[in-house]
Amino acid sequence: MAVSEMKYGIVWHDGYKLWNEQVDTQHRQLFTLLNALVASCMDGSDTAKLQSTLDFLVNYTVQHFNDEEALQARYGYPGYPQHKQMHEDFKATVGERVLRFVENASPEQLSKDVNLVIVRWLLNHIPREDKKIAAYIHNLS
């Protein structure tokens, strides 16, 4: 299935479904939050609003990772340590982008970082890595 992308941000489609209601709902919400952040960058929102939206997105992502990791632990997913490390590496990358925004307050750079780093990571991570977890859990059922 082709990846459906907007000029800025990302579009959810059923190809990303993992058939776990909690994870799918959180993934859809991440897409919505990313799109809202990019739209705020593009519409000239002030730095305080962008920072607030970015902080909410980061906190939501951390909670999502915690929930996903709890699911992996509950089902004894053998790739858990590697998957957790991917999450840690991603959080560090996002942290660097947040720091760059705090230092420069550039909506244009933030939009680029969101699209080139965060969106790209999600578009690769969900179908390549999260689908492995979903298949593992499905096979246990």
Q: What is the CATH number of the domain that holds 100?
A: 1.20.120.50
Task: Check residue 6 and report its DSSP letter.
Answer: -
Question: What distance lies between CA 131 and its chain's CA centroid?
Answer: 15
Structural domain for 42, as ranges = 20-140
Note the pLDDT tens digit of each residue in 52-107.
888 888 888 899 999 999 999 999 999 999 999 999 999 999 889 888 888 988 88
Measure Cα distances from 126 to 38, 54, 111 in Å. 20, 21, 21
Residue 1 lies inside a defined structural domain of this protein: no
Residue 2 lies inside a defined structural domain of this protein: no
Residue 133 lies inside a defined structural domain of this protein: yes
Question: What distance lies between CA 114 and its chain's CA centroid?
Answer: 10
- Report whether pLDDT(5) > 50: no
Residue 71 lies inside a defined structural domain of this protein: yes
**Structure pTM?**
0.83
How many domains in the chain? 1
Nearest to residue 12, comparing CAs of 21, 22, 30?
30
One-letter identity of residue 2:
A
Residue 5 lies inside a defined structural domain of this protein: no
Residue 10 lies inside a defined structural domain of this protein: no
Residue 86 lies inside a defined structural domain of this protein: yes
Residue 9 lies inside a defined structural domain of this protein: no
CA distance 83 to 100: 26
